[in-house]
Structure 1
Amino acid sequence: MRGVVLLACGSLLAAGCANMPDSGDVRAVKASNAGDSQVRVYAVAPRDNADPEEIVDGFLEAMTSDDPGFATARKYLTRQAARTWRPEASITVLTNAPDRDQADRMADTENEGKSYPISGRRIAKVDARHAYRPEVPAEFNESIHVVQQPSADGKGKEWRIDSLPSGLVLGEADFLRNYRSVNKYYFASGENWVVADPVYIRQRQDPVTRMDPVTQTVKALLEGPTGWLGPAVDSRFPSGTELKKGVTTLTTDDQFTLKVPLNAKADHISSLVCKGMAAQLLFTLGDLTSARVEQVELQGSDGNRLCLLGKGQATDEFSPVRDPGRGENPFFVDEHGKLMMLSVASKQLDKPVEVPGPFGTGALPLTYVAVDREENRAAGIVQEGRALRVGSITSDEEPAQPVVTSAGPRREDRLSAPSWDGHGDLWVADRNPVNPRLWMVPGGQGEPVEVSTPWLKDGARIESLRVSADGVRIAMLVTKDKRTTLQIGRVERTRSEGHESVSVESPQRAAPRLESVTAVSWAGPSRLVVVGTEAGGVQQVRYVQTDGSTSTTSVLPGLNGVTAVAAPHGEQSPVVADSNNDGIVRLVPGANWQPIVKEGRSPVYPG
């Protein structure tokens, strides 16, 4: 007997959940065929006198289970290997469950044991801080070595694993069944608004810490930001702050208040710092659909209350988006180069409305546009991409003189579509092949600052960009060697003697499985809508997390010839796209793409 048993009795599967059989063999089930998070996997210990192949297969399948402490999986290991194996250290994610090849027959003696190659296509790695890092799919080749050791009764020998890959090795379906993405929140460096930092935690109780998902999430927040985001954010929690020893479960009371007991590191914090700590917790726990948290009460090591903060107050004071609960209306450029606003929140499609000012009248025909997050100003690319001008969209005042210009020889070699961040600063890329650069305009009207991009070399250039609401991350389509990829960069700012220096650091591939990317838009604190094509595939529109992870439900309904896409920060408004075949279209949840206007381009939401 070997392998694992899978059980599923969620609401969707209730019709198939009859009584458990009380006789018959337990047979191995290919765990990676089940991606549903309601499926539970129970590990089965190795049978007596199991052959080496059974030991290897049983261990690979036991790694996919929820077994506390991975105690059953450790039964497949030698005593020494069981003591040193650290499944929490990392997770290697493969496209499918690892394949096990036959042992090398040249190493088939009792003394040498047997080595079984395991292989697959590696697509990501999750580190000990729960950070997911995607990789360009590559071959994964490791091995599991088995030897014979004395059996428990001392009367014979049994095969056990003495050498194995570090951490867990899981197929993508098993990974998504066992783990879920959660946003931790930290403060933008020197600012008073929060930034999302996605990590992966267990769907259910963590086998190693025995913590439930809420407690796992709080623990992950207290551990600090992931390595990539860390240089651009701060935590209000004092260094060394942890949950009070022994806490493995956190639940809300009948007022939906979550009481979080902390160790002595937090005992002497000020009320202002405590409020920031509670805000970080409220934003973080807001992503957990399994727990409704309306208030957070922080407690010191003696159990006394340090502070109490409600969700509404946290949102009002620390959100990077003004009134994030309100509906959003998109804008687009019509066939005459005029800026138009759409009202798309209702089922009835209203006629587009011209905005006030020269951008709405066509006096300055637009190539691209961006609307600030307050919906007071627009930044327009005019003169066939040569100039960036900023003007009001609430009055008829004339826009200021160009704030950035380009001398690129062709329109596609000049200025990209601009983007506003949460600071009210304006970003644009100059695609001039002679000197490609990235600019930031403070407040949309100050002296332009050239952003340091030391990685932008060897013919690479930024084709388009979108800056996050918090201003800490920038999504860029970067072309190099005739290939366009999606990169997420970290924005770092330094101020010295009244001068601000800005750089984009450590750009990371956010959609490595897409061979080419056409368009991107932010769709919330840590999610993007991306238009791209896999190798040998057709164009698709899908959601991607900023850490590069996706889910099986992330692909949106098919749409051909998409050249631009815009998504709201919240979920009240639809995704809007520009299709060569259908014009400006929208997608509301549960429906298909609907045409809005036949002629138009550059759809954008504020930002």
Structure 2
Amino acid sequence: MIGHGGRIGAAASAACLVAALSGCASVPTGGPTFPGRGDNAGGQADTFTRLIPAGPQPGVGEGALVRGFLKDMGSFEENHKAARLYMTEDEQAVWKPSDQVLVYGEMDAVRFDVEAVEEDRTARVRMRTPLYATIRTDGQYVPADQGENIDIAFDLTKVDGEWRIADLPDDLLLSRRDVDRVYRPLNLYYFNRDLSTLVPDPVFLPVQPTTDITEQLARALIRMLVDGPTDWLAPAVRSSFPEGVDTAVSYESGMITVELGAGADGTGTEERFGMGAQLVWTLKQLPEVQELTLRIGGEDVEFAGAEGGSLQTSSQEWNAVNPSGVDGGSLRSYFMRDGQLWSLDADQQESLVEGAPGEGTTLLERHAVSLDEDRVAGVVPDDGSVRVAELVDGSEYATVLADGEYTSLSWDVYGNLWVLQDLSGEADDAEEDEDLADDTERGDAASSDSERQGEPGDPATRLWLLPGGSDPVEVTAPELADAAVTELRVSRDGTRVAVLTGTGETGAVSVGRVVYGESAVTLQGFLPLAADLTSVDGLSWRGADQLAVLGQKDRGALQAYLVPLNGSGESTSAGAVTGSDMKTIAAGPGLPLLSGTEEDTISMSSDRLMWRRVADGTNPVYPG
């Protein structure tokens, strides 16, 4: 059994659930609303804003009927009973809405074109609007690419003198407001490649006010967790649950029992610990879930070190695989001053590091510290090399990459060093050489611009992975081949990378997965993030499911923002340093944000209104 203890108070749990699940984000537009609770809400008051559907109005035209249908589609109660009222009886009986959702922005941006098929008897209404996002059947929220549109048709017929929908798509069509009201962004948790760290898999889950919301979410999370990760993350993670195992879930007053079928009978201690860890971290997101029992073969699974406390209370057993990948409270930050590498502890006490990095005889233009804080890698501007040294007395730098323009460094939990190389300078040099040849070789025709720029498909960047900080292996990243990647940061768990493409007003953020094959490492499946920011100039991993970036909104001032990885695009301002422009951003799990400024000072913020100067220096970083 995992965790003991009674339920938390109803008022406290409701407040916690609102904060944790981001409920009631906005007011829907389909009709009057009120904060609702189900018959068995059990302390879930004020966690759901209920839509009161308007229903089909008498005498409305074809376009108005479809408009009303879309508004009432935001009511999920009784299997979309409100939306079915807009359909013919035959269509009501056969319509089975898909779990996939097409998300649009606002109703005012939707265009309805009516085509009469048979005058005053049948018609077709074509709905067109920009696609904002798709919630896939596995719960993943995927932002739309620029220029993607929703373009679908509804067939209508007259029934007793009123227009009704006779045929329509299976996909749900919801506005952003409806998604904010009905869906809850949560994480499933799976393991990284070596089972050392849990990795969040963000999903969006719908809820209804007719039953206990915590129970709804708990059951849905367990079902999805056991079924396996989203299609996007699956190639990069592992699950401890046997494939296809049957699962039974019981819930009562904050106590959950998960019973696995015969497919789990042969699992060993390691697999059972993994299943317990995945369940604990997934269910910890629901504050009212206090106790979990995992049962296999009719017997409760016992976990050493996990007895005697609430599920919501941290224990060493489960923290060993916590999603941050590190013990966040113990991490120091590192920065450069006068060519020397310094550390800054939680009390803002400075210390000069040991070994070659602290001596300052080799200047590092940019640097990254390994997660175990044993090594530092840096780019030497004098010769463009990447060098690595241990942070121990008497250490020396070793050159691991040479003869290139290396722009970004980061470490993962496996001890791999990731290095981004900019190849644009090589293309420029080749162009200059050809221009010189054109000027000096008489009788030769001048080269065209396309000829001077190299072969089509030549990559703009190259990515290296150095296991243990040495022996570089080139990483395959087809989707980045033609992109001007200016920064790349690997997640501390080693399963994903965040990249910044473009600079200044064109800077944009995306995230891709890391897939290890038998003979190659590949980056794939890049998805856009921070769609609400007009530009991004720097990025860092704050936690396993959140980035910190420097960005701008609508030509506003450059400042820090927190960006969720769930794809929703809702970035949160973390403020800006007063009196000096921010140049870099650094973040760590559960740690204050750091920024290097134009004045070669370092500022820290645990509160977006309270940035303060903590040291003189440049390029502050946390390990990773």
SS in 2 for 1:359: helix
Residue in 2 that maps onto 1:526:
545
Residue in 1 that maps onto 2:145:
136
Residue in 1 that maps onto 2:315:
312
Which amino acid is the alignment partner of residue 234 of structure 2?
G
The 1-side partners of 2:115 and 2:199 are apart by: 54
Decide whether the 8 Å contact of 1:333 with 1:601 is kept in 2: yes
Residue in 2 that maps onto 1:437:
462
SS in 2 for 1:529: strand
Decide whether the 8 Å contact of 1:214 with 1:250 is kept in 2: no
Higher relative contact order (CA 8 A, sep 6+): 2
Asked whether 1:583 is paired with 2:601, we answer yes
Residue in 2 that maps onto 1:457:
481
The 2-side partners of 1:49 and 1:282 are apart by: 52
User: Which piece of structure 1 moves more, 379-388 or 274-283?
Assistant: 379-388
Residue in 2 that maps onto 1:574:
592
Which amino acid is the alignment partner of residue 467 of structure 2?
P
Gap regions ≥5 residues in structure 1: 1-9, 13-26, 151-155, 408-413
Deviation, 1:37, is 7.9
Which amino acid is the alignment partner of residue 465 of structure 2?
M
SS in 1 for 2:245: coil
The 1-side partners of 2:52 and 2:246 are apart by: 32
Asked whether 1:333 is paired with 2:336, we answer yes
Which amino acid is the alignment partner of residue 143 of structure 2?
P
The 1-side partners of 2:573 and 2:79 are apart by: 35
In structure 1, which of residues 96, 104, 127 is the aligned counterpart of residue 114 of structure 2? 104
Q: How does 1:272-421 map to 2 (within 5 A)?
A: 272-288=270-286, 290-293=287-290, 296-300=292-296, 303-308=298-303, 310=306, 312-319=315-322, 324=327, 326-334=329-337, 336-343=338-345, 345-346=346-347, 350=348, 352-384=350-382, 386-393=384-391, 395-407=392-404, 414-421=405-412
Residue in 2 that maps onto 1:545:
564
Asked whether 1:507 is paired with 2:526, we answer yes
Name the CA shift for 1:217/1:205 in 2 (closer, same or farther; >3 Å): farther
Which amino acid is the alignment partner of residue 341 of structure 1?
S
In structure 1, which of residues 160, 164, 170 is the aligned counterpart of residue 164 of structure 2? 160
In structure 2, which of residues 225, 228, 247 is the aligned counterpart of residue 224 of structure 1? 228
Could you state the TM-score of these two structures normalised by the residue count of structure 2? 0.77
Normalized per residue, the structure richer in helix is 2
The 1-side partners of 2:316 and 2:332 are apart by: 25
User: Which piece of structure 1 moves more, 87-96 or 39-48?
Assistant: 39-48
For the aligned residue pairs, the C-alpha RMSD in angstroms reads 3.5
SS in 1 for 2:408: coil
The 2-side partners of 1:119 and 1:594 are apart by: 49
Q: How does 1:108-257 map to 2 (within 5 A)?
A: 109-113=119-123, 115=125, 117-138=126-147, 140-143=149-152, 145=154, 147-148=156-157, 150=159, 156-203=160-207, 212-244=216-248, 247=249, 249=251, 252-253=254-255
Deviation, 1:355, is 1.8
CA shift digits 1:314-368 (9 cap, x unpaired): 434433656535243322222x22212223x45xxx4533222222232222211
Deviation, 1:534, is 5.0
The 2-side partners of 1:298 and 1:453 are apart by: 40
Gap regions ≥5 residues in structure 2: 1-13, 17-28, 35-44, 307-313, 427-458
Residue in 2 that maps onto 1:468:
491
Which amino acid is the alignment partner of residue 132 of structure 2?
I
Which amino acid is the alignment partner of residue 468 of structure 1?
S
Q: How does 1:10-49 map to 2 (within 5 A)?
A: 29=31, 38-44=47-53, 46=55, 49=58
Which amino acid is the alignment partner of residue 322 of structure 2?
S
Could you state the TM-score of these two structures normalised by the residue count of structure 1? 0.79
Residue in 2 that maps onto 1:4:
none
CA shift digits 1:186-244 (9 cap, x unpaired): 1223544322211111355699x996111111112122111111112221111112432
Deviation, 1:605, is 0.7
Decide whether the 8 Å contact of 1:563 with 1:580 is kept in 2: yes
Deviation, 1:42, is 3.0
